[in-house]
Amino acid sequence: MGGYTLTILGCGVMGQAILSAIYKAEKSEDAEIQSRYPKKIIACNGDLQASEQVNQLIKSFGESPNGIVVESTFGQNKEAIKESDIIILGTKPYLVETVMKEVEELVNDKLIISIAAGWTINQISTYSKNVTRVMTNTPAKYGQGCAALAFSESVNSTQKELVKTLINHVGMCIELPEKLFDAATSLIGSGPAYILLMIESMMESGIKMGIPLNESLACSLKVMEGTVKMVQESGLHPAVLKHQVCTPGGTTIAGLCKMDEHGVKAGIIKGIEEGAIVAAKLGKK
Ligand X SMILES: *[C@@H]1O[C@H](CO)[C@@H](O)[C@H](O)[C@H]1NC(C)=O
Ligand Y SMILES: NC(=O)c1ccc[n+]([C@@H]2O[C@H](COP(=O)([O-])OP(=O)(O)OC[C@H]3O[C@@H](n4cnc5c(N)ncnc54)[C@H](OP(=O)(O)O)[C@@H]3O)[C@@H](O)[C@H]2O)c1
Residue 172 burial (CB < 10 Å; 0-12/13-18/19+)?
middle
Q: Would you count residue 283 as binding ligand Y (CB under 6 A)?
A: no
| Cross-strand partners of 43 | 8, 72
Q: Which does 110 bind (CB under 5 to 8 A by kind): ligand X, ligand Y, none?
A: ligand X
**Which of ligand X, ligand Y, none has residue 7 at its interface (CB below 5 to 8 Å by kind)?**
none
Question: Binds 130, which of ligand X, ligand Y, none (CB < 5 to 8 A, cut-off by type)?
Answer: ligand X
SS3 sequence, 67-87?
CCEEEEEECCHHHHHHHCCEE
What CA–CA distance (Å, rounded) separates 96 from 43?
16
Provide the minimum distance between the beta carbon of 252 and ligand X in the complex, in angstroms, as a whole number.
Answer: 29
Task: Return all residues near 1 (Cβ < 8 A) that are at least 6 apart.
Answer: 35, 36, 85, 158, 159, 162
Distance in angstroms (rounded) separating the CA atoms of residues 5 and 142: 24
| Among 91, 130, 159, 216, interactor with ligand Y by CB under 6 A | 91
Interactions with ligand Y, residue window 39-78 (CB under 6 A)? 44-47, 50, 77
The strand ranges marked E within 1-128 are 5-9, 40-45, 69-74, 86-89, 111-114
CB of 51 vs ligand X, minimal distance in Å: 26
* Minimum distance of ligand Y from residue 242's CB (angstroms): 30
CB 139 within 8 A of CB 172: no
Residue 80 near residue 41 (C-beta atoms within 8 A): no
Which residue's C-beta sits nearest to ligand Y?
Answer: 12
Which of these segments, 31-39, 93-101, 196-204, 276-284, binds ligand Y (CB under 6 A)?
Answer: 93-101
Q: Which of 20, 107, 166, 189 binds ligand Y (CB under 6 A)?
A: 189
For residue 69, the number of C-alpha atoms closer than 13 Å in the C-beta half-sphere is 6
Question: Which residues of this chain interact with ligand X, rule CB under 6 A?
Answer: 1, 109-111, 129-130, 154, 156-159, 214
Q: Phi and psi for 278 in degrees, rounded to 5? A: -70, -40
| Cβ at position 17, least distance to ligand Y in Å | 8
CB under 5 to 8 A by kind: which of ligand X, ligand Y, none does 45 bind? ligand Y
Instruction: CB nearer to ligand X: give 98 or 214.
Output: 214
Q: Check residue 13 for interaction with ligand Y (CB under 6 A).
A: yes
* 275 sits near ligand Y (criterion: CB under 6 A): no
Does 206 contact ligand Y by CB under 6 A?
A: no
Contacts to ligand Y by CB under 6 A: 9-15, 44-47, 50, 77, 90-93, 95, 99, 115-117, 136-138, 189
